[in-house]
A and B are shown apart, each in its own frame.
Chain A
């Protein structure tokens, strides 16, 4: 099956700093990638849709200036949490689709962020 990787797998940072999370599709090109956030004991919540070569589309309530998304190539999307605060501590997960209309999504293993 297709593989999506994330780096780092976990990160601890101080409040006020920025953290970049990478999402890579290892064996296919992904024109669209998605970023989710999951708090403990809760389900995944979609944050934004990342399209290669264009601006990301953010879900309502997600601050685009705080969660910067860049999808500069067909195999890499990055999520930067700027000026992180303890309430940003969460499990961040990306997913990718091989082609725009393919039904199956491939998820990364997730990145656990802890902001102190």
Chain B
């Protein structure tokens, strides 16, 4: 799987939007962009994924650059419960392989 680069940590105020960046300059045409998050002492939780078009769900939005070399996870209104490590992961569609987690971005949300 291609490599992703994320900032080690970010901080946000509660109820403000958060934009979590991810660079993946070596992405291939069949790589899906996945985002998972892990709250303290819990297993990871699926957030969102996409291929080329921007995606929205009840948790977040995923904005994918036109050249697909970067993407941004958008939390529209951060809450204290959104404090977690966010992982941006590339996975080749249909490869059957597990997810390879990088270090992720630790998001701190302050009241």
Contacts and interface: CB of A to CB of B under 8 A. Distances in A.
Contacts of B34: 103
Given A34-B98, A43-B103, A95-B98, A103 B43 contact: no
A109 B99 contact: no
Contacts of A103: 32, 34, 49, 91, 93
Chain A: interface size category = 20 to 34
Contacts of A60: none
Contacts, number: 59
24 contacts: A1-B46, A32-B96, A34-B99, A36-B98, A43-B102, A44-B38, A46-B98, A46-B99, A49-B97, A93-B44, A95-B44, A95-B98, A95-B99, A101-B96, A103-B49, A105-B98, A106-B46, A107-B43, A107-B46, A108-B43, A109-B42, A109-B43, A110-B41, A110-B42
Interface of B: 32, 34, 36, 38, 41-46, 49, 87, 91, 93-94, 96-104
Given A95-B98, A107-B46, 11 more contacts: A36-B98, A43-B101, A43-B102, A44-B38, A44-B101, A94-B43, A95-B44, A100-B96, A101-B96, A109-B42, A110-B43
